[in-house]
A and B are shown apart, each in its own frame.
Chain A
Amino acid sequence: MSIKITKPGIYSSVQDQGRFGFRRYGVPVSGSMDKFAAGIANLLIGNSRNEAVLEITLHGLEFIFLQDSLVSFAGGGSRPYADHHALDMYKAIWLPKDTVVNFRHHPDGCRLYMGIAGGWSEPLFMKSRSCFPTAGAGKVIKAGDQLSGGLPSPLAVKIVGEMDTSKISMAGWGYSETSIRTDIVRVIKGPEWDLFSEDSRNSWLRSSFTVTQSSNRMGYRLSGDPLLLGVKKEMISTAVTMGMVQVTPDGMPLLLMADAQTIGGYPRIATVIDADLPVCAQIKPGDKIRFKEVTPHFAEALYIEKEEQLLRLEHLINTKMQM
């Protein structure tokens, strides 16, 4: 075992990049809310991008290392400390056995990702290690739980080879985080866009919305100007996906997130573009957001750019460690 949880914090769970192939049975995709940060946390310690990470919501979590470990941190909502020393974000970090790590409040963001060399070795359930307790996949982290890292990759071994393993050590290199702290989220028009009244379509793109307390990994309830249908229509339920914004009969938007149901029957005004889902993942209740429309073509180009950014990082780390 690699760590033992001493304080559970607000909500933490093990997640990989998602559970695919089972949406037709009503099983949500789940996976990290901020899949970009989770991917980076993995790459920094020689893991493949899809390894399981620990998703830590806000502050309060504390655990002790039961063995020496190579880890990394990415995302927001808290900052990791070992005793009273801040640990760097976006770097490979060597933490010796008995180190106690806790997560303190940080104003930016909502979810922090902790990777461990080899990935967290929770059992595979329906081809994924992502926690989704309803379907019997994993459990939410509680005090006393022990988690174990997997087998470090040859790349992880090289990364550790450059470190002083007698004490806490941080790699001399890392990922420089480009700021994702923005309150503007880009969307494409949803399938039922045309059903909304002109006033509501204008409000959607011009006014701001507050993320309410009724927000979790399934979705965020937003409050703002009510969005009303210009054309009344009884909808037949159909597939929905993370990033879609459904509008419930009270006129309030519901932004679907990682654990969202697979089908829905409310009109969908918009879909957040994939490249901006990490922004949504780092928004917390009380924050305000605004939506800006882009073309589907632009959304696709940005998605491809983000994928290439991660591949470039992977390539850079590989190249650096071969020198």
Chain B
Amino acid sequence: MGPTIKYRISEKAVTLAWEEKIDIDIHRQVMLADELISNFPFAGWIENVPGYHTLTIFFDPYIIVKQTRSSDAFQFVEDYLDHIIASPEDPASFETRRVRVPVCYDPEFGIDLEEVSGLLKIGIDDIIHEHCNTPYHVFMLGFQPGFPYMGMLPDVLKIPRKAVPSIKIPAGTVAIGGQQTGIYPFDSPGGWYALGRTPIELFVNGKAFFEPGDEVIFYPIDLDEYHKMKSVEH
């Protein structure tokens, strides 16, 4: 199914929106459209930004008007998108990259494990088991460079965001909020619950570790392994 609406967010960007929900099948269609446009860009195209249910396409209207002889850049982009998105594609055809991510759930890093256990009435071992036992889908990167918004969290781990955000969540922290899980690439304030920490660096020398559309599996490691991997990283 194609996008349901198109809307302008500025003179230089248009957003394609699918049904407004957080859903892996919808996101695969977003990623397919992203791939199509990146592979067959139009004159003046700058970049795409995939969201959960949206794809935003940035462009330079001046280049479009000069190079295509179209007098209305937005109309040109709309027509282009209608044509390119019209070709029906099977969302399953989007090639998914699978990534395994080590997480140390030691209480030293999983500072909110006990609180989550109390709030959700589930044992700490079960939290870790549930968190590791689900493949997650990277919907988008944002908030900080390289921060992956991943879902869907199993229902037993669904948790509202903290009423008062933590002032400093350390880099590498793996956390949950709502029906999502994410990893903080840099120290920052945040409203999600910390379950553990990964030794992997998420944004190094201008390179993000994740791509939108990745499938992620967490696996537990102990403190020793964490420190070993961390020293290899450096």
Partner of A20, one of B46, B53, B212: B46
Which residues on A sit within 8 Å (CB–CB) of B52? 236-238
Q: Do residues A262 and B49 form an inter-chain contact, with CB atoms below 8 A?
A: yes
Do residues B61 and A300 form an inter-chain contact, with CB atoms below 8 A? yes
Is the pair B141, A25 in contact by a Cβ cutoff of 8 Å? yes
Interface pair A297/B53, CB less than 8 Å apart:
no
Determine if A151 is an interface residue (Cβ-Cβ < 8 Å). no
B61 close to A303 (CB less than 8 A): yes
Whether A23 touches B49, Cβ cut-off 8 Å, given contacts A134-B144, A134-B186, A303-B61, is yes
CA distance in complex: A273, B58 (Å):
15
Q: Mark B11-55, 1 if CB is under 8 A from A, else 0.
A: 111010100111000000000000000000000001111111110
A191 is an interface residue with CB less than 8 A from chain B: yes
Verify B48–A24 contact, CB threshold 8 A. Answer: yes
Interface size class of B (residues with CB under 8 A): 35 or more
Q: How far is the CB of B9 from chain A (nearest CB, A)?
A: 6
Interface string of B121-144 (1 = CB under 8 A from A): 000000000000000000011111
Which A residues are CB-close (under 8 A) to B20? 236
Could you say which residues of chain B place their CB within 8 Å of the CB of A263?
Answer: 49, 51, 140, 142-143
Are A188 and B47 in contact, CB atoms less than 8 angstroms apart?
no
Q: Are B8 and A303 in contact (CB under 8 A)?
A: no
Question: Within B141-190, which residues are at the interface with A (CB < 8 Å)?
Answer: 141-147, 149, 186
* Chain A 176-195 interface residues, beta-carbon cutoff 8 Å to B: 188, 190-191
B205-A136 in contact (CB<8A): yes
Residues of B within 8 A of A244 (CB): 9-10
Complex contacts, B65 vs chain A, CB 8 Å? 304
Q: How many angstroms between the C-alpha atoms of A243 and B144 in the bound complex?
A: 19
**Cβ-based interface call for B74 (8 A):** yes
Q: Taking CB as reference atom, which chain A residue is nearest B144?
A: A26
The smallest C-beta distance from B143 to any residue of chain A, in angstroms, reads: 6
Let me know if A32 is at the binding interface, CB within 8 A: no
Contact status A239-B9, CB under 8 Å: yes
Could you show 20 A-B contacts with beta carbons less than 8 Å apart?
A: A23-B58, A25-B203, A25-B208, A26-B143, A134-B144, A136-B205, A136-B206, A137-B206, A236-B52, A238-B15, A238-B17, A239-B15, A239-B49, A241-B9, A263-B51, A263-B143, A273-B10, A273-B11, A297-B72, A304-B61
A residues with CB within 8 A of B: 20-27, 125-126, 134-137, 188, 190-191, 236-241, 243-244, 261-263, 268, 271, 273-274, 296-297, 299-300, 303-304, 307
